[in-house]
Structures are given as C-alpha cells and as structure tokens.
Amino acid sequence: MAIRISDIAAEEALLDVEAIRADFPILDLVRNGNPLVYLDNGATSQTPRCVMDAIEHYYAARNANVHRGVHYLSQAATHDFEEARKKAGRFIGTPLACEVIFTRGTTEAINLVAQSYGRTHVGAGDEVLISYMEHHSNIVPWQMLCEEKGAHLKVIPINDAGELDMDAFERLLNERTKIVAVTHVSNALGTITPIKEIIRIAHSAGVPVLLDGAQAIPHMPINVYELGCDFYAFSAHKMYGPTGMGVLYGKARLLDAMPPWQGGGDMIMSVTFEKTTYNTLPYKFEAGTPNIEGAIALGAAVDYLERLGMNAIAAHEHQLLTYATRALQEVPGLTIIGTAKEKAAVISFVLESAHPHDIGQLLDDAGIAVRAGHHCAQPVMQRFGIPATTRASLALYNTREEIDALVAALHNVNKVFG
C-alpha cells in the first residue's frame, strides 16, 4: 500500500512503548553512566527477545540442513524455514512463496536482479535509471552492469528538499531505459519517494521497477501487489531481525524467465556433466545451504511487527519525527538536510560548530548512538555540498525523552566547540 505516513499519523499511537522497550534487552545498557539512547536504527535495528529465542530454539531443537534429509530434524527445520518464507511474503503482501527469494540482504537482492535480469535485458547503448539519493547498494551493481554491457547509468536529480524531480524522471525515461531502480525511503535524507507515481509512469513506458525497501520496511506497511512493483528488496536486520538475511520479492513471471545467478546445491533439478536443469522458484535463486536460522528469525521479527501493527508503528514514529524535527531546529547552528514533505523517521543534520564525526564522538560520550558520515550515499553528500552529516534514525522503541537527551547533548556540543 502506498501509504502517506502523514495520513495515518493522525491515528492514535497505539504502541505501549515502555512495554516494548522491555522486549529489547540491549536497551538496558548503560554507557559512561548514561542510559543507552540508540538512534542508529537506519544502520541496524535492535533485536527483541522473541527473535533471539527463535534463533536459540532453532539450534536447540531443529538444527539440520533443509530440503535434504528424510529425518525428523531436517523435516522440522525445512518446515520452519518454509513457514518463515510464507511469513515474509505475507508481510509484504504476496501469497506466493515462490516470489520470496531469501538473500543475504538488500545488497545481495539488488545484485541478483542486476546480474540475472540485468545481464539478460540490458545491452550496449541501453540505459538503467536510478536516482541521486540511492544507497551505494543501488548504484554500484548497476554501474558494474553498465560497464560490462556498454550501457549507461542515468540519474534522476533531486531538489533542495531532497525530493525526486519527477519532471526530470519523465524526461529521462525513454525507449532505451531497461529498468528503473529507486529507493523507497532514502537512508541519508529520510525522503519517502512517490513510488506509486514512479511505477505508474515507468510501467506506462513498459519499464520494470525495482524498489530498494531497506529503509521503508521497518517504518510502514508494504503491499507489493498494491504498489505493482516488479522487484522489492529488503534486509532483516533493519526490521528487528538478524543480520546476513534479506529478501528479494519478484513477480513470479519475471523471476521464472530469469536465469539463475549462482550455481550449486539446491538450485538444480538434475546435474550431468553435459547439462544441468534448474530447480523451480524460489530455489533456482538459492544456491547452497541457506541462512536457516536467519530466515526463521526473520519470521519471528515479522510475527513481532504484525503483533504491534505497522500502522501503529508508523503513527508512533511520525509523532516522534515531528517532535524531533521541531526540537532540533531550536539548536543554534543546526541545519536539517532532507526536508521532504513525506519523510520516514530519519533526520540528517549538520551543525556549524562541529564536524559530524566530532559530534558523533561527543554524543557517544553521553551514551547516544547516532551515525556520522556519508551513510553509503556519497552522491547525496555531493549534491548538498557537504562531506558528511550526523543522522538520528528512529525506531518503534524510541521516546521523546531520548530526543530531549539528543537535543541537550547537541547544546553541549555547541558549548564545547562554539
């Protein structure tokens, strides 16, 4: 569903944040005598006890390889692994397990599409269209493909607020464009891109659309069928699940026609030295022993998020974003980078008095974890003429008191460096 977060933000925030915080043991940590304030959720989110329990249960009661054994453990592990696939599919709105490919994360999912779909469909002189606000994961795989094929990477510009220039997008789209690959939410700016509009325009030109959902997946309900996107990539560790685990959603029709990109066990039907025939979806794209506990833990994260409700999460985070934006604007010398009308709970900023790395260090001394740097989005930094930003990225367990602590620590940065 292409929700506008501001539309659902009017809903009463239904989250019992205090109870939720008790689900995350790490939030009890104390740093330099201060309670941990974790505001680096865009890099990776923290893990609730139920996800840790799922991993432990797998090793304590299920540990075996999947799809191979006739014995009990292998069958039980296979059952839980495939249930997790169904849960991941349900979470993004597809009832078809064959459309859910398990990957190492968003990065691998995008590489899969570039290497399989891209190498089949992109030739010399063709174009791949991305945007200025992409994470390096949604730039470099396409750049590599274009270099190999003699194709061209085209880039949709953004305005000073960090919004896509949709007129430029329409101008850039042409008969040579073979795929549009854009982010759903910018990790560096927080911008929610108008994906429904992007998909409508691209599809009217017959061009498929890949969405990088890494930063959208923890913040809002996603329904790939309602969106109509062709590919959707996301990582489990940004949605309270484990690292090294992710999903590529693809339309079955497209995935079916794509060649495999890695060869090995599980992705084959039969092998002789003369010829190999490939397995059906989704296994055709899952060579080798998969991240079994990662998939099962992703399923547990989905259960957790569904229990809380993605609308309630979005409403809570939107309230927090509004509160934080106002509070940060009161800090002398602070400029927010990324002021799009539609934003997820990510706030990048620069401070006149100090470099982002110094800010990050001083905040860390106060127990506050933020990100300082280019956020793997160097072209965004170039666009705004800055080397780096400090980024506070919020999650469902963050509170107004934590924002207050951030603001107080930034006043202190001004005192130290001012």
Among 207, 194, 129, smallest CA distance to 164 is for 194
DSSP code, position 39? -
Q: How far is the CB of 135 from ligand PLP (least distance, A)?
A: 3
List the one residue from 62, 85, 87, 135 that touches ligand PLP (CB under 6 A).
135
Binding window for ligand PLP (CB under 6 A); candidates: 100-108, 147-155, 319-327, 337-345? 100-108
Binding of ligand PLP at residue 45 (CB under 6 A)? no
φ, ψ (nearest 5 deg) of residue 258: -85, 145
Name which of 183 and 279 has its Cβ closer to ligand PLP: 183
Binding window for ligand PLP (CB under 6 A); candidates: 46-54, 67-75, 198-206, 210-218? 210-218
Binding of ligand PLP at residue 291 (CB under 6 A)? no
**Residue 325 has which token pair?**
């934006």
In angstroms, the CA 411 to CA 418 distance is 10
Contact 29, 380 (CB under 8 A): no
From 50, 98, 229, 376, the catalytic residue: 376
Binding of ligand PLP at residue 40 (CB under 6 A)? no
Contact 209, 231 (CB under 8 A): yes
Element (H, E) at 299: helix 292-308
Tell which positions 216-255 bind ligand PLP, by CB under 6 A: 235
227: which residues sit within 8 A by CB, 6+ positions away? Answer: 1, 2, 195, 196, 199, 211
Element (H, E) at 302: helix 292-308
Q: How far is the CB of 374 from ligand PLP (least distance, A)?
A: 12
Name which of 5 and 409 has its Cβ closer to ligand PLP: 5
Binding of ligand PLP at residue 183 (CB under 6 A)? yes
Binding of ligand PLP at residue 214 (CB under 6 A)? yes
Name which of 177 and 183 has its Cβ closer to ligand PLP: 183
Binding of ligand PLP at residue 379 (CB under 6 A)? no
Q: How far is the CB of 159 from ligand PLP (least distance, A)?
A: 19
Binding of ligand PLP at residue 106 (CB under 6 A)? yes
Among 154, 145, 155, smallest CA distance to 124 is for 145
Binding window for ligand PLP (CB under 6 A); candidates: 101-109, 194-202, 260-268, 397-405? 101-109
For residue 379, which amino acid is it?
P
Contact 173, 181 (CB under 8 A): no
List the one residue from 45, 215, 390, 398 that touches ligand PLP (CB under 6 A).
215
On the CB side of 235, CA atoms within 13 Å amount to 20
Q: How many residues make contact with ligand PLP (CB under 6 A)?
A: 13
123: which residues sit within 8 A by CB, 6+ positions away? Answer: 149, 150, 151
Name which of 112 and 331 has its Cβ closer to ligand PLP: 112
Tell which positions 359-378 bind ligand PLP, by CB under 6 A: 376
Binding of ligand PLP at residue 105 (CB under 6 A)? yes
Binding of ligand PLP at residue 41 (CB under 6 A)? no
Binding of ligand PLP at residue 137 (CB under 6 A)? yes
Q: How far is the CB of 214 from ligand PLP (least distance, A)?
A: 4
In angstroms, the CA 82 to CA 325 distance is 42
Active site includes 376? Answer: yes
Binding of ligand PLP at residue 392 (CB under 6 A)? no
**Residue 1 has which token pair?**
């569903």
Helix ranges (H only) for 13-71 are 17-21, 49-61
Q: How far is the CB of 327 from ligand PLP (least distance, A)?
A: 24
Binding of ligand PLP at residue 212 (CB under 6 A)? yes
Among 133, 198, 131, smallest CA distance to 162 is for 133
- String of DSSP letters for 342-411: SB-SEEEEEETTB-HHHHHHHHHHTTEE-EEE-TT-HHHHHHHT-S-EEEEE--TT--HHHHHHHHHHHH
Name which of 221 and 242 has its Cβ closer to ligand PLP: 242
Name which of 107 and 291 has its Cβ closer to ligand PLP: 107
Cβ burial of 209 (10 Å; 0-12, 13-18, 19+) is buried
Binding window for ligand PLP (CB under 6 A); candidates: 60-68, 120-128, 133-141, 343-351? 133-141
Binding window for ligand PLP (CB under 6 A); candidates: 102-110, 143-151, 310-318, 335-343? 102-110
Catalytic residues: 376
Residues in the site for ligand PLP, rule: CB under 6 A? 105-107, 135, 137-138, 183, 187, 212, 214-215, 235, 376
